[in-house]
């Protein structure tokens, strides 16, 4: 296999701008390849030669994982899900993921590594599980997080099922999060070591069963190290740009994308008392906590700034002062725990946005899939539809979708 693809490797390899030794030196990574191999084997918990699948997006992280696992002696194959048909205007645009050209990148990386690679046609599943839900959620005033749904459905169901069907012992991805087994043999998801890259927030839909099958080999790595080792192993995309946007709207904005699917839904902008202050072109263009770009007439200088505090299903946007963004009670739906559910009364950290800080909260009620939390710390702008992820220190216990974030003062509740 390797010999067959040697020619392609030669063709595919760009000139590395900087030698990998420089990259590793800059990253402060002094590990010898043998140490990296030992670390990979420890993370994988599988004997050398075991068959493992790698979810390959075409980007540097998952490509590096594939290369590192090949180096560690596993029988690696790559899986890439084709998720949607690309708008011709988007072709060539950086910052996308899982578009046909990314699948081609993944395939060429796989070829250069001498491993097999398969592209799965999952456009139907993605449209149903991610895009339709994204549009419907935005349309009713939520601010959905499609990356979480993609992880839940595409990564943790479709790719896991495919990997198992193809006889893989594990599915590895390039996510920056730590996934190990605890003393009881239960999956334990923790924050990635690189605070700039930590993706644990997006991975909360992990279940115990899937958690025991999936591996995140880069959890203890910093991005700079990944780039260095990718270059060391000749991964052609080692200098590729990061993907950041919501992939399928990358050429557009959520507002235009949702408007394209459902028609623009303009509506009123009102204050907390219900007085109309202005109009807007569509609620998908706004997020709870947003202060700028409301298009309202200028306020008096002494007035306190206005923020979006709610997006109502009827299309009305409510604005109010910063204090109105405060939430003291948060209800999460579609909640799943990675391990055993913690008891009512347990105190934990609630994080409501990627790169946010967890805020102390206490479990007030916990039923099947729904948890109500009393916020103990200061929590502002918890938007409906975003994920609420529950941490114990840096360990992810579980998470769900924010169904309601309210201010409770005594017996009265104000919308926030």
Which DSSP string corresponds to 60-79?
Answer: HHHHHHHHHHHHTT-EEEEE
Asked if 158 interacts with another protein (CB under 8 A), we say yes
From the list 26-34, 122-130, 325-333, 385-393, the region that binds another protein by CB under 8 A is 122-130
Closer Cβ to another protein, 163 or 325, answer by number = 163
Judge whether 98 counts as a catalytic residue.
no
The catalytically annotated residue of 97, 98, 150, 178 is 150
Q: How far apart are CA 228 and CA 25, in angstroms?
A: 9
Nearest residue to 60 via CA among 10, 11, 97: 97
DSSP state of 414: E
Contacting another protein (CB under 8 A), which of 16, 31, 118, 210?
118
For the record, the structure tokens of 24 come out as 């590793």
DSSP state of 152: I
Q: Is residue 412 within 8 Å of residue 400, measured between CB atoms?
A: no
Contacting another protein (CB under 8 A), which of 31, 41, 82, 133?
82
Contacting another protein (CB under 8 A), which of 37, 120, 210, 272?
120
Asked if 77 interacts with another protein (CB under 8 A), we say yes
Residues binding another protein: what is the number (CB under 8 A)? 27
Contacting another protein (CB under 8 A), which of 14, 15, 32, 124?
124
CB of 85 to another protein, least distance (A): 8
CB of 178 to another protein, least distance (A): 28
Closer Cβ to another protein, 156 or 380, answer by number = 156
CB of 80 to another protein, least distance (A): 7
From the list 22-30, 58-66, 96-104, 143-151, the region that binds another protein by CB under 8 A is 96-104
Q: How far apart are CA 194 and CA 209, in angstroms?
A: 26
Phi, psi angle pair for 100, to nearest 5°: -50, -40
Q: Binders of another protein among 189-248, rule CB under 8 A?
A: none
For the record, the structure tokens of 276 come out as 């109309």
Asked if 167 interacts with another protein (CB under 8 A), we say yes
Asked if 133 interacts with another protein (CB under 8 A), we say no
DSSP state of 203: G
For residue 177, give the 3-state DSSP assignment.
Answer: strand
CB of 142 to another protein, least distance (A): 24
Q: How far apart are CA 366 and CA 359, in angstroms?
A: 18
**Burial of 301 (C-beta count, 10 Å sphere; 0-12/13-18/19+):** exposed
Nearest residue to 402 via CA among 376, 377, 373, 362: 373
From the list 162-170, 184-192, 237-245, 349-357, the region that binds another protein by CB under 8 A is 162-170
Contacting another protein (CB under 8 A), which of 44, 56, 90, 103?
103
Give ∠ CA 125-126-131 in degrees, rounded to 5: 130
The catalytically annotated residue of 97, 98, 178, 247 is 247
Asked if 378 interacts with another protein (CB under 8 A), we say no
Cα-trace Rg, the chain: 23
Contacting another protein (CB under 8 A), which of 143, 153, 225, 407?
153
Nearest residue to 211 via CA among 240, 234, 177: 177
Nearest residue to 149 via CA among 96, 203, 84, 95: 203
| Interacting residues toward another protein by CB under 8 A | 51, 77, 80, 82, 100, 103-104, 107, 116, 118-125, 129, 153, 157-158, 161-162, 164-167
As annotated, the active-site residues are: 150, 247
């Amino acid at each position: 296999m390797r010999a067959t693809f040697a020619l392609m490797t030669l063709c595919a390899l760009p000139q590395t701008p900087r030698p990998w030794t420089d990259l590793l030196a800059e990253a402060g990574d002094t590990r010898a390849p043998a140490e990296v191999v030992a670390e990979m084997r420890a993370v994988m918990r599988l004997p050398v030669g075991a068959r493992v699948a790698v979810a390959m997006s075409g980007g540097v992280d998952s490509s590096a994982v594939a290369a590192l696992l090949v180096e560690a002696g596993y029988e690696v194959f790559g899986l890439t899900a084709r998720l949607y048909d690309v708008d011709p205007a988007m072709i060539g645009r950086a910052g996308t993921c899982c578009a046909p050209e990314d699948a081609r990148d993944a395939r060429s990386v796989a070829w250069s590594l001498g491993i097999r690679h398969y592209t799965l046609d999952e456009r139907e599943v993605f449209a149903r599980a991610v895009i339709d839900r994204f549009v419907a959620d935005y349309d009713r005033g939520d601010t959905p997080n499609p990356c979480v749904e993609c992880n839940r459905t595409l990564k943790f169901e479709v790719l896991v099922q495919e990997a198992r069907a193809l006889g893989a012992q594990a599915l590895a991805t390039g996510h920056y999060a730590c996934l190990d087994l605890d003393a009881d043999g239960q999956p334990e998801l923790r924050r990635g070591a690189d605070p700039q890259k930590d993706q644990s927030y997006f991975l909360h839909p992990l279940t115990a069963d899937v958690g025991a099958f999936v591996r995140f080999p880069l959890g203890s790595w910093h991005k700079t190290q990944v780039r260095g080792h990718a270059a060391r192993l000749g991964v052609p995309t080692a200098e590729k740009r990061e993907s950041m946007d919501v992939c399928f709207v990358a050429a557009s904005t959520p507002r235009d994308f949702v408007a394209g699917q459902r028609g623009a839904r303009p509506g009123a902008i009102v204050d907390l008392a219900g007085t109309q202050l202005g109009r807007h072109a569509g609620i998908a263009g706004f997020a709870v906590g947003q202060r700028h770009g409301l298009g309202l007439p200028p306020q008096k200088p002494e007035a306190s700034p206005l923020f979006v505090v709610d997006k109502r299903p009827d299309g009305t946007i409510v604005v109010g002062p910063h204090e109105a963004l405060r939430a003291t009670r948060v209800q999460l739906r579609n909640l799943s725990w990675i391990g055993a559910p913690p008891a009512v009364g347990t105190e934990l950290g609630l994080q409501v946005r990627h790169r946010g800080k967890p805020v102390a909260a206490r479990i007030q009620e916990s039923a099947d899939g729904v948890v109500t939390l009393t916020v103990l710390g200061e929590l502002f702008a918890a938007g409906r539809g975003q994920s609420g992820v529950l941490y114990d220190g840096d360990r992810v216990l579980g998470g769900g979708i924010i169904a309601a974030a309210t201010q409770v003062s005594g017996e009265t509740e104000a919308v926030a």
